[in-house]
Chain A
């Protein structure tokens, strides 16, 4: 006992860690291997037998998980872009160029007291942010990001989108009603009035698109816009685009139509009694909503995942790694080493001030950058859904940028102007669009 103790005491701290960690990893690895061998085949069989279920669980998980980086990116964009437009710098303290600012916001919300005021209807009060967030996430389910990359490809996806998007209002009403505060209730009613008013032109504006496409499946609508950017619905339905854009701004509660919130003048309306992460969830949902609305705009009017131009020549680099056989193993082992050395060589030879180790690190970084670029380039050219995803995301973030820019540019409208615009201008314009589209389609169909 004493021998073991004195041996242990003479060890340095890294040695102690190694002495414990290495046997632990070995033992756990062995156990895990055995368990995998025993469990994996039946698991694979089970998953293969229930492919739909697996697909659904996976899609739902991915959708929920991607909302987090999406919201963080949009919050950061909002802070930074509006700051740049005001000739300010914006957040630059947390992380490089302030990139971790939204993370800090998230932690701030988490660390705040989640207070439930006296007299509130606790279950409904608690469920309201969930309902708002759920409505947003569920509408994200049907958005086709790339060929085959859609959580659930409905034939009535568009209808589903508007139906679920409308549930947002239920969450707001729940929040206002359960808050036990007449001002919250008035705020919720105001929010509901706005959302319902703009729901109508929003829904009617896409009827023209549906008439043209003959389907409500979003994937089909996108596929029908394939070709160059001249084939996008943008040119066939310009009025619908404008109406959809304005109504979507109101639906996503964005400036200049953000009367639901109007934080400067109306103390957040329905969310007055909320604090901590429950309050944060409303705004989390709002930022995801911006993304959803932008994605929908792209899908309906800007060709979805289609590239804005026809690829001039067919390129597909067919790689068949299996044909290399054992050579693949050697290549996989040797290429990184040789690549790192080759790329490090010019640094080492070129400057006497760069030591061998520094040159190796530089070469390693350079090799990784090149490898990732090459892999991504190959994927972009050869894999359909990668290119689609890139185009889709690029277009979506253009519209996210425009929504953010609108917040930097426009003042908020008055509530009577807001309602009057929806009912007196957008609704008639949407109806006119339906009539014109229907007449045009019936005329061309007769020929």
Chain B
């Protein structure tokens, strides 16, 4: 309120008068096309590749880039980790109840948080305290958490996000960027060497047999997620060919003949079949 009555009216008139001389923002659509980014498609859509597999790798880059944070993720992704969906929470049945609760001002149960196993928050807090809750030191925080739990539990990541103020999407992005950081509770990695000597000695058939035994294929975890099955990138010095390694340790007794049975036993968790040197 000004001291002079009517001054506000004059200010308003001055504003509209200035606007009168400013250029119009109208885009005359049929004659002129809007200047939009080449990549812009105007809608959110999950794409599938030619094999019908979802292309989304839940990298969260979209969620991170979205200026109004309308992109949300949940569900299960291609690696069996999360359910993935896109768009505003209200448009998905899974989140509808949550939206209603939020609108009603009630407390929203944190479903993704509850779905994964709870972790000892005190341990995470201790690690964070050690790193002064500094989101810039996220990598070492994550490494310390992985050293504590053996992998990165979602509950721990959420705790980190809450305490440091970093977006969950950013933490997830960091965690997925570094190969030595793991989300799976995989304790074992079964690897078949792919050096020329091993392949010549029947490494390919061995890998197929082990894959059949583990009910998975190379590069993918077993259905229960406990064992990862991969190529071994370097031959262990002094080991015989073809080489099969568990967590980097050669298993010389595995041959093409007993590989399937051995793998089945491993998947079924029979400790007797494992040889630890």
Residues of A within 8 A of B (CB): 81, 83-89, 92, 402, 405-406, 408-410
Summed over the interface, the residue pairs from A and B with CB atoms below 8 Å come to a total of 37
Choose one: B17, B22, B23, B28; the contact of A405 (CB below 8 Å).
B17
| Contact between chains at B13 and A406 (CB < 8 Å) | yes
Return chain A residues, CB-CB under 8 Å to B23: 87
The majority secondary structure among interface residues of chain B is helix
Please judge, given known A-B contacts A85-B20, A87-B19, whether A409 and B13 are in contact too, CB under 8 Å.
yes
How far is it, in angstroms, between the C-alpha of A92 and the C-alpha of B19 when the chains are bound?
19
CB closest chain-B residue, reference A425: B5
A89 touches B28 (CB 8 A): yes
Partner of B16, one of A85, A88, A89, A92: A85
Residues of the A chain whose Cβ atoms lie less than 8 Å from the Cβ of B24: 83-84, 87-89
Interface string of B129-160 (1 = CB under 8 A from A): 00000000000000000000000000000000
Chain B proximity of A398: nearest CB distance (Å): 12
A92 to B: closest C-beta gap in Å: 8
B100 to chain A, nearest CB (A): 32
User: Which residues of chain B from 15 to 65 have any CB-CB distance to chain A below 8 Å in the complex?
Assistant: 15-17, 19-20, 22-26, 28
Binding site for A on B (CB under 8 A): 9, 12-13, 15-17, 19-20, 22-26, 28
Closest 7 CB pairs of A and B: A89-B26, A85-B16, A409-B16, A409-B12, A89-B24, A87-B25, A85-B19
Beyond contacts A85-B17, A85-B19, A92-B28: 14 other A-B pairs, Cβ-Cβ < 8 A, are: A84-B20, A84-B24, A86-B19, A87-B19, A87-B23, A89-B28, A405-B13, A405-B16, A406-B13, A408-B16, A409-B13, A409-B15, A409-B16, A410-B9
Distance A410 CA – B6 CA, assembled complex (angstroms): 12
Contact A88 B13 (CB under 8 A): no
From A86, which residue of chain B is reached at the shortest CB distance? B19
- Contacts of B19 on A, CB cut-off 8 Å? 84-87
Is A87 a contact of B22 with CB atoms below 8 Å? Answer: yes
Min Cβ gap B204→A in Å is 68
Complex contact A88–B9 (CB within 8 A): no
Residues of A within 8 A of B20 (CB): 81, 84-85, 405
State whether A88 touches B12 (Cβ < 8 A).
no
Contacts of B13 in A (CB 8 A): 402, 405-406, 409
In chain B, what residue has the closest Cβ to A405? B16
Question: Bound complex: CA of A409 vs CA of B18, how far in Å?
Answer: 12
